[in-house]
Amino acid sequence: MDIAKAITFITEDPRWKEKMGMGMVVVVASAILSIVLVGILGFAIVTGYSIRLLQNVRDGQPHPLPEWDQWGDDMKRGLKFIAVGIIWALPMILLSMMFGFLGFLLDAAGGNGGAPEIITGIFASLGGCLYLLYALFVAGMTPGFTLAFAQNEKISDALQFTPILNWTRNNLAEVLVAALITLVAPMLISLVAFIAGIIMCVVGLIVTVPLSVLV
């Protein structure tokens, strides 16, 4: 894996500023409209655009950053990939719902620090550990099921557990590097955005923070 290439390939596109600028507009508009749930469609468009970017990189295109010319298709592929992510995250969602419900029952019963609260606390701790372990597992599997989805844009392809697990095992070093880049790059971009935002006040933050979503 060419780490430098993975970080800098965007700026090698002669029109990268226009393309990233359009992406920032979509992200900001989606964030604003998310209060009425319409914004999820914008995030789906950005997600679908990112899948197209991955496909272009896979195909070896010299300037893989796509044009913003497939809004409807990007939204459809983005919604499908969001569905894939939700399916993979179902155990975490169910754990959160279960312990949230237990906490609600305990509060409704007016817990007094007795045995029920102790037992609930133990289960909550175990659940938290399971949640963390599964979250790390999904993070490691994400490159595999993302590539599987990008192959034919089928949800079923991204749910083939055994092939994806085998691919992850065979490419563990690359997966770890990709996870590190995914973690560090948005942090660095957000830091730059924060510093620039101090200078440019609110306007600077509105313009620069969404860049971290597109990387």
Distance CA 104, CA 109 (A): 9
**The predicted structure's pLDDT at residue 96:** 86
**The predicted structure's pLDDT at residue 49:** 93
Q: Which helix (H) or strand (E) holds 7?
A: helix 3-8
Distance CA 104, CA 118 (A): 15
Half-sphere exposure in the Cβ direction for 157 (13 Å, CA) = 12
Half-sphere exposure in the Cβ direction for 32 (13 Å, CA) = 7
Mean pLDDT across the chain: 79
What's this model's pTM, rounded to 2 decimal places? 0.77
**The predicted structure's pLDDT at residue 99:** 80
φ, ψ for residue 155, nearest 5 deg = -60, -40
**The predicted structure's pLDDT at residue 195:** 53
Ranges of residues in the chain whose predicted pLDDT is under 70:
1-8, 106-117, 181-215
